[in-house]
A and B are shown apart, each in its own frame.
Chain A
Amino acid sequence: MAGAFGRRDFLRFALAGFALLALAAPGSRAEEKFIIVQSTTSTQNSGLFEHILPLFTKKTGIEVRVVAVGTGQALKNAENGDGDVVLVHSSPDEEKFVAEGWGVKRYPVMYNDFIIVGPADDPAKIAGLKQAPEALKKIAEAEAPFASRADDSGTHKAELKLWEQAGVDPKTSSGSWYLETGSGMGATLNTAVGKQAYALTDRGTWLAFANKDDFKVLVEGDDKLFNQYGAILVNPLKHPNVRAKEGQVFIDWLTGPEGQRAIADYKIDGQQLFFPNARPQS
């Protein structure tokens, strides 16, 4: 009788609450089949996964969980065994990954291209140039602002290669006109738009990007802007927890006729983003 809500009642209530929370907390879903794919932010931001993955899950019943980070981080995560498949776009790094034994085999999957985007007033006057390194050189000479991902990603490495071909070391101007954001593609584009700066981006992310302001595609079509994607199964001998069987099913599907068609079918505003180029399976 003493006290409407005494201490004992409180304890009982608290225990019940915790028990409820423990039950409500999502289980480990171990009974469901899934794989973890380490991929890149640019691929995710393009919306490709939302289009093709449901088709794969419907066919095989395997759920695909995508962790989207920069290429460097994706490969590092895979080295730690925190993924079953990597799908990135940096061929030299991918080959090194396999050579060092972290991955089983590299399968080409698709390609898209990079483009240079910039503000409509185009201060460095690069619009329509056919050679990307030449455009970058003009940007450097004009000291027009340029936003770089600077995050060790496939896009970033492609960008650095183009600067090299242009004979310019932009890092010496880091902080003045060369802005190293250290971020994913979308965040870098936000910065570019905000600062009216040029940027190198993959077409997929750009088409899906919703904050374009008055920016235009200024340089495209150069062979050097070609961007190849590869899929690799993480080596189960290095990490026994890797879901090798399901991972291979995914890679086979991606490089097989259904996956390749799904990739080609993905369009934004009628434009195809990715071009399947897997080698035919023997």
Chain B
Amino acid sequence: MLDNPRSPPEAGALCSESLLPLELRGLSLETGGRRLIYSVDLRVDTPGISVIMGPNGAGKSLLLRLMHGLIAPTGGTILWAGTPMNGEIRRRQAMVFQKPVLLRRTAVANITYALGLRGVRRNERGLRAFQALQLAGLERHAFTPARVLSGGEQQRLCLARALSLDPDILFLDEPTASLDPASTLAIERLLIDAKHRGIKVLVVTHELGQARRLAQDVIFLHHGRLIEHQPAPRFFEQPESDAARAFMAGGLVL
């Protein structure tokens, strides 16, 4: 299950072909007369961790939500392996948000709940949930009310829940923004582990250090536009755009 890179599909899913490449063509988002995302053309076709970066207000979180289908674009298309975004595809993805979102139940119940939504059989849920908890080092908190856990433990639980669903694509929106270093390290280790198991990870972060530690490639946004999309080493050594350079230098990018 969680040890296999490519596990058998859940009930009703598409066959287990890759969802990559992800292609955004002319993707735009406009609300209330304001353009938030400007005609983004992007192609993500390599495995591993892609980091989405940019100054505040660049539209990183919005882009993530568009990719996951939580928001509908006002223009352009999103294609996963040539197929437009749909419910089936979304079921093969999972997302972790900046603030942990957990139900008022025990830790393990939060995971079995998600598995139940996916249609996993009742007698399988417990086992898979426990495996996920073990992966995240939370097994001794299994029956603790989830919302009583610390911030770092809660976020690890959210990530464990996401991983228990055996997704092809994992989105994370600033997952360690408010966590202590130890929890941050734990989360990053889980992401690297996920990468090794063949899960494609797209993570938004504003922390350069984290980006350097995790990124295979970097997607840099500014003012709702895609400014750069480079393999990580090239982006960090020689960013092409002024905005990226200013960002890396630590200054305010207007």
Contacts and interface: CB of A to CB of B under 8 A. Distances in A.
A and B touch in the complex (CB under 8 A): yes
Interface of A: 1-3, 6
Contacts of B112: 2
A1 B108 CA distance: 10
Number of contact residues on B: which range applies?
Answer: under 10
B47 interface: no
Contacts of B108: 2
Interface of B: 105-106, 108-109, 112, 126, 129, 142-143
Contacts of A2: 106, 108-109, 112, 126, 129, 142-143
Contacts of A1: 126
B106 to A, nearest CB: 6
A6 B110 CA distance: 12
B126 A3 contact: no
A65 B91 CA distance: 64
A6 B126 CA distance: 14
Task: Identify the 7 closest CB pairs spanning chains A and B, nearest first.
Answer: A2-B108, A3-B109, A2-B109, A3-B106, A2-B112, A2-B126, A3-B105
Contacts of A6: 109
14 contacts: A1-B126, A2-B106, A2-B108, A2-B109, A2-B112, A2-B126, A2-B129, A2-B142, A2-B143, A3-B105, A3-B106, A3-B109, A3-B143, A6-B109
A6 B112 CA distance: 12
A3 B143 CA distance: 7
A1 B129 CA distance: 12
A7 to B, nearest CB: 9
Contacts of B143: 2-3
Contacts of A3: 105-106, 109, 143
A107 B146 CA distance: 76
A209 B85 CA distance: 80
A162 B180 CA distance: 91
Given A2-B106, A2-B108, A2-B109, 11 more contacts: A1-B126, A2-B112, A2-B126, A2-B129, A2-B142, A2-B143, A3-B105, A3-B106, A3-B109, A3-B143, A6-B109
Nearest to B106: A3
Contacts of B105: 3
Nearest to A6: B109
B157 to A, nearest CB: 14
A223 to B, nearest CB: 77
A2 B109 CA distance: 6
A51 B109 CA distance: 64
Nearest to B129: A2
A2 B143 CA distance: 7
A190 to B, nearest CB: 52
A256 B188 CA distance: 97
Nearest to B108: A2
Nearest to A1: B126
A69 to B, nearest CB: 51
A3 B108 CA distance: 9
A1 B125 CA distance: 11
A153 B49 CA distance: 87
